[in-house]
Chains A and B, each alone.
Chain A
Amino acid sequence: MLQRVLLYSGVVVLFVVMVLVMNIRFLIEGPIGSDVTVPSLFGKLHRQVGAEDWNQAQNTHEQLRKTWSKFLTQAQISLEKSEVAAFEEQLIRLQTALEFSDKAKAIEEIRLMSRNWLTLGQ
């Protein structure tokens, strides 16, 4: 009887773990163990670009790139290949806009990234 209970419990635990891993994107907003979340950096970037503080914005972009990279390592199992590629392309386009101090383009990319972040993994 105990063996049967253990077996069924094991199966249930296994399935719960599988479902959690496949949905990890919705459980974390940034890398596990880090206080910085990806959406918080969108807000920071938006303010810095609005104030045309291009040097700080480039630093924040670098921070966003690193945070995204760590997040991706942990959540890739729950994401689509095309979503990841699209997000990384936007990161590059944002970097170019910041380097050339193109405010309109930078704001557009930040807004697109924010929207894509919401639908990431859905």
Chain B
Amino acid sequence: MNLSVNLVVFVRSVFAFLTLFLYARILGKKQIAELSFFDYVNGITIGSIAATMSTDLSSIAMHHWVGLTTWAGLVIIMQVITIRNRRWSNIIQGESVVLVHNGKILERNMEKARYPIDTLISALHGKSVFNIMDVEFALLEPSGQLSVQLKSQKRPVTPEDLNLETNYEGVNVEVIVNGIVINQNLEQLGLDQKWLQDQLQQLGIKSIKEIFYAAIDTQGTLYVDTVKDRLTFPGTVNPSDYEGPD
């Protein structure tokens, strides 16, 4: 071959990588745990086609690219159908199955879902439920995860149960990351760099470069983490029990 085979593999790999990256972005942000079996198999197939496109010189890259695009396209079509049509959504993704109701295991549903009792017990343990009698509902979700609703007497007490009022918490807004001020966020809060400098001076910090991370909560409190951790007592904690060489 005239051109270095390694160079051909390199170019094909770049093409496969860029294509896969774009399709992964389009296909969404589901986590592995949220994937249905079908999503999981699709992911493996698409990845496999991309890997073959990258290194298998016995076939033309374009064939794999078309395959990759077709699979990604079909998954996108399925996703759109799933969102827009409830009936098709049930057919494609499946429905939740009740495995436990009011402390009673529903054997017929367990059999339909082909869900072994050991797995059910283990999944309940994973949710800190050690007594099936405490369970109001246990649902097997289409993703394979078990969702558990405890009986009302067994649920942790919430402020609402005690008629307690709570403050709005919201989300912290980042104002400095890696020594760089995020002016856009400061402006959104109606603040400016001068206010920030004043706050930092009060904390004994001379330069913004010293700050690794700073954020403001909904109460207006500024949280600051400096690059140099100024720990006094008890000092840096080392959780390792390794006594090896220093």
Q: Are B58 and A22 in contact (CB under 8 A)?
A: no
* Residue B57 CB within 8 A of the other chain: yes
0 or 1 for each of A67-93: is its CB under 8 Å from B? (1 = yes)? 001001100111111101000000000
Count A-B pairs with CB separation below 8 Å.
Answer: 49
Q: How far is the CA of A76 from the CA of B62 in the complex (A)?
A: 12
Most chain A CB inside 10 Å of its own CB: which residue of B2, B11, B19:
B2
* Residue A30 CB within 8 A of the other chain: no
Name the CB-closest residue of A to B2. A72
The count of chain B contact residues (Cβ–Cβ below 8 Å) is: 18
Contact for B18 among A18, A81, A82, A122, CB less than 8 A: A18
Q: Are A72 and B11 in contact (CB under 8 A)?
A: no
A78-B18 contact given A72-B2, A72-B3, A73-B2, CB 8 Å threshold: no
Q: Are B61 and A22 in contact (CB under 8 A)?
A: yes
Nearest-neighbour CB distance to chain A for B42, whole angstroms, equals 21
Q: Are A72 and B1 in contact (CB under 8 A)?
A: yes
0 or 1 for each of A1-24: is its CB under 8 Å from B? (1 = yes)? 000000000010011001101110
Q: How far is the CA of A19 from the CA of B65 in the complex (A)?
A: 9
Q: Which residues of B contact A79 (CB under 8 A)?
A: 60
Residues in B1-46 with C-beta less than 8 Å from chain A: 1-3, 5, 8, 11-12, 15, 18-19, 22
Q: Are A18 and B15 in contact (CB under 8 A)?
A: yes
Q: How far is the CA of A21 from the CA of B15 in the complex (A)?
A: 10
* Residue B59 CB within 8 A of the other chain: yes
Nearest-neighbour CB distance to chain A for B58, whole angstroms, equals 5
Q: Are A77 and B8 in contact (CB under 8 A)?
A: yes
Contact for B1 among A21, A84, A121, CB less than 8 A: A84
Name the CB-closest residue of A to B19. A18
Contact for B59 among A21, A76, A80, CB less than 8 A: A80
Q: Are B3 and A76 in contact (CB under 8 A)?
A: yes
A78-B60 contact given A11-B22, A14-B18, A22-B15, CB 8 Å threshold: yes
Q: Are A76 and B15 in contact (CB under 8 A)?
A: no
Q: How far is the CA of A121 from the CA of B12 in the complex (A)?
A: 15
Q: How far is the CA of A82 from the CA of B60 in the complex (A)?
A: 10
Q: Which residues of B contact A14 (CB under 8 A)?
A: 18
A78-B1 contact given A11-B22, A14-B18, A18-B18, CB 8 Å threshold: no
Name the CB-closest residue of B to A121. B60
Nearest-neighbour CB distance to chain A for B16, whole angstroms, equals 10
Q: Which residues of B contact A78 (CB under 8 A)?
A: 60-62
Cβ-closest 9 pairs across A and B: A22-B62, A81-B57, A72-B2, A76-B3, A73-B2, A22-B61, A18-B15, A73-B3, A81-B58
- Beyond contacts A22-B15, A73-B3: 6 other A-B pairs, Cβ-Cβ < 8 A, are A15-B22, A69-B2, A73-B2, A76-B1, A79-B60, A80-B59
> Could you jot down 8 A-B contacts, CB within 8 Å?
A14-B18, A18-B18, A19-B62, A22-B61, A76-B8, A77-B11, A80-B57, A84-B1
